[in-house]
Structure 1
Amino acid sequence: MGIRECCDVVVIGAGHAGCEAALAAARLGMKTVIFTVSVDSIALMPCNPNIGGSSKGHLVREVDALGGEMGKNIDHSFLQSKMLNRSKGPAVHSLRAQADKQQYTRRMRRTLEKTPNLSIKQAEVAKILVEDGKVKGIETFSKAQYLCQAVILCTGTYLKSRCLYGDVIQPTGPNGLQAANHLSDSLRELGIELVRFKTGTPARVNGDTVDYGKMEEQKGDDKIVPFSFTTDRNSIQREQVSCWLTYTNEKTHEIIRENLDRSPLFSGVIEGTGPRYCPSIEDKVVKFADKDRHQLFVEPEGEYTNEMYLGGMSSSLPEDVQYEMIHTVPGLEHAEIVRNAYAIEYDCINPMQLQLSLEFKSISGLFSAGQSNGSSGYEEAAAQGIIAGINAARKIQGKEPVILDRSQAYIGVLIDDLVTKENHEPYRMMTSRAEYRLLLRQDNADLRLTEIGYEVGLIGEERYRRLLEKKEAIAQEIERLQETNVGGSEEIQSFLDRKGSTRIKSGISLAELLKRPELDYESIGAIDPNRPNLPEEVQEQVNINLKYEGYIARQMQQVSQFKKLEKKKIPADLDYQQVGSLRKEAVQKLTAYRPASIGQASRISGVSPADLSVLLIYLEQRKRKEQ
Structure 2
Amino acid sequence: MSLFQDVYDVIVVGAGHAGCEAAAAAANMGSKTLLVTMNLQTIAQMSCNPAMGGIAKGQIVREIDALGGYSGIVSDKTAIQFKMLNKSKGPAMWSPRVQSDRMRFAEEWRLRLERTPNLDFYQEMVSGLIVEKERIVGVRTSLGIEVKGKSVVLTNGTFLNGLIHIGDKQFGGGRAGERAATGITEQLVGFGFDTGRMKTGTPPRVDGRSLDFSKMIIQPGDDIPEKFSYSKETSPLTHQRACHMSYTSPEVHELLKEGFDRSPMFNGRIKSIGPRYCPSIEDKIHRFADKDRHQLFVEPEGWDTCEIYVNGFSTSLPEDVQFKALRSVVGFENVKFFRPGYAIEYDYFPPTQLTHTLETKLIDGLFFAGQINGTTGYEEAASQGLMAGMNAHLKVHEKDPFMLQRNEAYIGVLIDDLITKGTEEPYRMFTSRAEYRTLLRQDNADERLTPLSHKAGLASQERLKLMEEKREASEKLVKFFEDTSILPDEVNDILVERGSSPMKQSDKMFKVFSRPQIYLDDIKKFKKVAAYIEDNAIEKDVLEQAEIKVKYAGYIEKEKANADKLNRLENIKIPANFDYSKLKSLSYEAKEKLEKIRPATISQASRISGVSPSDISVMLVYMGR
Relative to the length of structure 1, the TM-score reads 0.97
Helix, strand or coil: the match of 1:393? Answer: helix
Letter in 1 for 2:594: L
How far apart are 1:24 and its partner, in Å? Answer: 0.3
Deviations along 1:332-379, one digit per CA (max 9) or x if unpaired, are 111011111000010111100000110011211000101111000000
Which residue does 2:607 correspond to in 1? Answer: 603
Helix, strand or coil: the match of 2:240? Answer: coil
On the 8 A contact 1:68/1:386 being kept in 2, the answer is: yes
Deviations along 1:162-206, one digit per CA (max 9) or x if unpaired, are 110111111111122121012212221222211100000000111
Deviations along 1:115-147, one digit per CA (max 9) or x if unpaired, are 111011101001111111111111111111111
Q: Kindly, what percent of the aligned residue pairs are identical? A: 47
CA RMSD of superposed structures (Å): 1.4
User: Does residue 358 in structure 1 map to residue 358 in structure 2?
Assistant: yes
Which residue does 1:54 correspond to in 2? Answer: 55
User: Does residue 98 in structure 1 map to residue 102 in structure 2?
Assistant: no
On the 8 A contact 1:281/1:312 being kept in 2, the answer is: yes
On the 8 A contact 1:413/1:434 being kept in 2, the answer is: yes
Out of 549, 553, 557, the residue aligned to residue 557 of structure 2 is: 553
Whole-Å Cα distance in 2 between the matches of residues 613 and 190 of structure 1?
36
| Within-5 A mapping of 1:141-290 | 141-231=142-232, 235-290=235-290
User: Does residue 515 in structure 1 map to residue 514 in structure 2?
Assistant: yes
Deviations along 1:445-474, one digit per CA (max 9) or x if unpaired, are 001101112112222222212211222222
Helix, strand or coil: the match of 1:427? Answer: coil
Deviations along 1:578-607, one digit per CA (max 9) or x if unpaired, are 111111111100000011111111111111
How far apart are 1:552 and its partner, in Å? Answer: 1.0
Which residue does 1:135 correspond to in 2? Answer: 136
Relative to the length of structure 2, the TM-score reads 0.97
Whole-Å Cα distance in 2 between the matches of residues 556 and 33 of structure 1?
41
How far apart are 1:2 and its partner, in Å? Answer: 6.6
When structure 1 is superposed on structure 2, of 302-311 and 252-261 the one drifting more is 252-261
Which residue does 2:405 correspond to in 1? Answer: 405
Whole-Å Cα distance in 1 between the matches of residues 326 and 471 of structure 2?
52
Which residue does 2:592 correspond to in 1? Answer: 588
Whole-Å Cα distance in 1 between the matches of residues 273 and 335 of structure 2?
31
Question: How many residues in Structure 1 have an aligned counterpart in Structure 2?
Answer: 619
On the 8 A contact 1:525/1:531 being kept in 2, the answer is: no
Letter in 2 for 1:392: A
How far apart are 1:528 and its partner, in Å? Answer: 4.5
Q: 1:584 to 1:23 in 2, by over 3 A?
A: same
On the 8 A contact 1:126/1:186 being kept in 2, the answer is: no
Which residue does 2:386 correspond to in 1? Answer: 386
On the 8 A contact 1:422/1:605 being kept in 2, the answer is: no
On the 8 A contact 1:2/1:142 being kept in 2, the answer is: no
Deviations along 1:227-258, one digit per CA (max 9) or x if unpaired, are 0001467x443321111100111011112223
Whole-Å Cα distance in 1 between the matches of residues 521 and 215 of structure 2?
39
Letter in 2 for 1:155: N
Letter in 2 for 1:325: A
Helix, strand or coil: the match of 2:385? Answer: helix
How far apart are 1:7 and its partner, in Å? Answer: 1.1
Helix, strand or coil: the match of 2:532? Answer: coil
User: Does residue 447 in structure 1 map to residue 451 in structure 2?
Assistant: no
Letter in 2 for 1:435: E
User: Does residue 542 in structure 1 map to residue 541 in structure 2?
Assistant: no
How far apart are 1:3 and its partner, in Å? Answer: 4.8
How far apart are 1:501 and its partner, in Å? Answer: 3.0
On the 8 A contact 1:273/1:425 being kept in 2, the answer is: yes
How far apart are 1:397 and its partner, in Å? Answer: 1.2
On the 8 A contact 1:72/1:231 being kept in 2, the answer is: no
Whole-Å Cα distance in 2 between the matches of residues 495 and 291 of structure 1?
44
Helix, strand or coil: the match of 1:43? Answer: coil
On the 8 A contact 2:315/2:343 being kept in 1, the answer is: yes
Deviations along 1:397-417, one digit per CA (max 9) or x if unpaired, are 111111101000000000001
Helix, strand or coil: the match of 1:573? Answer: coil
Whole-Å Cα distance in 2 between the matches of residues 81 and 48 of structure 1?
15
Which residue does 2:572 correspond to in 1? Answer: 568
On the 8 A contact 2:29/2:458 being kept in 1, the answer is: yes
On the 8 A contact 2:82/2:237 being kept in 1, the answer is: no
